[in-house]
Structure 1
Amino acid sequence: MDALSGLLESPKARGAFLLKSVFSPPWGLRIEDRAPLSLVTMLHGSAWVLREGADPVRIAAGDVAVLRGPEPYTLVDDPSTPPGITVDTEQRCNTTGGEDVTEAMSLGVRTWGEPQRTGSTVMLSGTYQAPNEVGRRLLAGLPALLVQPASAARTPLIGMLAAEVDKEDIGQEIVLDRLLDLLLINVLRSWLIQPGTGAPLWFRAQSDPVVGRALRLLHERPSESWTVASLAASVGVSRAVLARRFTGLVGEPPMSYLTGWRLTLASELLRDPDLSVANIAQKVGYSGPFALSAAFKRERGVSPQEFRRGKRSEETLTTGSDGRTVVLRT
């Protein structure tokens, strides 16, 4: 698996929270659910995304906004509209007066808000509820807000998701999870290939004839006992040249990058209850479960066993790039 495939393979929603919301202006939602990642797309009408310390960003019909948490944000019909409802960590909705309107404003299966009429805003949202559903490396590389304009989407996925969200067929949760994953991957592919969008350094480094080959080797053979010298020999350059070039393009030394990639793979494998920590250690290049546990605890703040049970350190939740906004060009 190359570096890009490894990144795009990580989104795996598990019972993601999907909702179609219907409002008539003026309306405003304050989102305080602390979710690691959410997607918002407008089916009808438009909305503004407000975040502390950032300019308002408009999303129109067909646009897809990817919002990285856990910091709160606000969705409103107009930047001047105060939010009347707050969404909490349990996806409960409360008015500014403290009234719980979660059930009162239900409009049916995965549909919420006000009865639809001419001029209504219809918004579709999907929320990943745990960082391991997205992948730590992916979360760390994303901007706080990424917007894909409708003109750049060229995908039937929005329509498919909208058609499925209010159904209750057999296996519906799996269908919705996979459609949400595909929509996120579609946005990410557009983001990664656009110049000047702030894509991770390691992705841009893949085009380098030396560093790109080194990255592919690390991704394809993570269990190998790599050293800077052996990796340099495999790509045909000196140890000093590889170390300097890799660090300059990727932003960290080769062995540091390898550690991060191994632990990313370990995080994915820990989802499989049939794999022991010893099995996982062997697959990702550690001498045994104790070596993997020590590295995992040092980098993630929790042991593999704690991670598997669902415990996450606060560092894992808040790791990320700066608060920049990226809008993909049409």
Structure 2
Amino acid sequence: MDVVSDAIAAVRLGRASSTRVEAGGRWATRFAPYAGAGFHVVLKGGCRLVPEDGGPPLPLGTGDVVLLPHGAGHVLAHAGGEAVVPEEAVPFERWRETGAPGAGEVQMLCGKYRLDRSRMHPLMAELPQVVHLPHKVGGHPALRAAVDLLGQELGERQPGACVAVPSLLDLLLVYMIRAWLAEDTKGVWPAVLGDPVAAAALRALHSNPAAGWTNDRLAAGIGVSRATLARRFTGLVGRPPMGYLTWWRLTLAATLLRDTSDPLAAVARRVGYGTPYALSHAFSREFGTTPGRYREAAPAG
């Protein structure tokens, strides 16, 4: 596994959902805050996204993609210049059922991902409230291909759509995060993954977290001195390599406890702890609860 894949897998719950909707004329629909991530893709026409936190309206055009990774409440509205009051917008569930006047002028994909925020990787936590990926000719071709395929599947409902659509939604999330990493020039994690030393160290740790890693072994594996590894990794990631590894092992253990019925001994072996007791002690120290209690309280996938 790589860092981005692991960061997504640690928070994903169940299947994503999406709906193809049409609108026209004057319209406004409200999306309540959500304990997950929302997204919109404009397939035709234009509209505005109005954040509920009072931020400026964001114009959206054909081909634009928007990810709301922290589930922020917002309004989608017609592209006119009039101000939109979020409280006056029709809740999306009701608006979708009743339809909008002049349907067809604007066509969109609206969807959401279920996320478990209790053990979020810092890469995911760093994503801004709104990630806007405007349509650009030649920009992010993989993302564009996924959008086109998803629009076709939702519009035509061909045989096998029940398998194709969830897979395309998974791809869409990966491609949106990749696009953000490629375009964000000031973020911490784009810098981390762009640094050859830190990125190589993370790839090694994530590819085999249960290995008997030491700073010397990790530095030798990526071909740098221990001092260089410590300086570059700690300076960018914010914790030393072995501190990050401990945190990731326990986060991975939490994911396995949530998503599998594996006994604690098996979980301990998979994340690099020799005994269930050693894992339980470290888990309780890090998260303030025992593995058993965490498993009982974890949201279902």
Correspondence list, 1:23-102, <5 A = 23-51=23-51, 52-77=53-78, 78=80, 80-83=83-86, 84-85=88-89, 87=91, 93=93, 101=94
- Contact 1:15-1:173 within 8 A present in 2 as well: no
Please point out which of 259, 266, 278 is paired with 2:265: 278
Q: Tell me the alpha carbon deviations over residues 244-286 of structure 1, each in whole angstroms, 9 at most, x when there is no partner.
A: 2221122222122212322343344345434223212211112
Question: Do 1:3 and 1:216's aligned partners in 2 also have CA atoms closer than 8 Å?
Answer: yes
Shift of 1:127: 0.3
Using the size of structure 1 for normalisation, the TM-score is 0.73
How far apart are the structure 1 equivalents of 2:35 and 2:233? 33
Aligned to 1:191: 180
Equivalent position SS for 2:14: coil
Moved more, 35-44 or 74-83: 74-83
3-state SS of the aligned residue for 1:129? strand
Provide the secondary structure at the position in 2 that maps to 1:156: helix
The 8 Å contact of residues 35 and 128 in structure 1, kept in 2 or not, is answered as no
> Alpha carbon RMSD of aligned pairs, Å?
3.4
| CA distance, structure 2, for counterparts of residue 271 and residue 261 of structure 1 | 15
| TM-score, with structure 2 as normaliser | 0.79
Check conservation: 2:216, 2:226, Cα contact below 8 A: yes
Bigger shift: 264-273 or 66-75? 264-273
Contact 2:11 2:115 in 1 (8 A): no
Percent identity between the two aligned chains: 35
Would the alpha carbon gap of residues 241 and 282 (structure 1) be closer, same or farther in structure 2, given more than 3 Å must change?
A: same
Describe the shift of the 1:222–1:5 C-alpha distance in structure 2 as closer, same or farther (beyond 3 A).
same
Secondary structure, in 3 states, of the residue corresponding to 1:22? strand
In the other structure, the counterpart of 1:114 is 100
- Change in Cα spacing, 1:18 to 1:117, as seen in structure 2 (3 Å) is closer
Q: How far 1:62 sits from its partner (Å)?
A: 0.8
> Which structure ranks higher in relative contact order (CA pairs < 8 Å, sequence separation ≥ 6)?
1
Superposition deviation, residue 207 in structure 1: 4.6
In 1: Cα distance, 2:130 partner to 2:74 partner:
10
Structure 1 or 2: larger helix share?
2
In the alignment, structure 1 segments of 5+ residues that lack a partner are 94-100, 107-111, 313-330
1:81–1:163 CA distance, 2 compared to 1 (3 A): same
The residue type paired with residue 42 of structure 1 is V
Per the alignment, residue 16 of structure 2 pairs with 16
Q: Report Cα offsets for 1:29-86 as digits up to 9, x if no partner.
A: 2221423211101122222222215332222111110002243222222561224345
**Partner residue of 1:126?**
111
Deviation for aligned residue 1:8: 6.1
Q: 1:149 to 1:17 in 2, by over 3 A?
A: same
Call closer, same or farther: CA 1:33–1:210 in 2, change over 3 Å.
closer
Q: How does 1:304-319 map to 2 (within 5 A)?
A: 304-309=291-296, 311=298
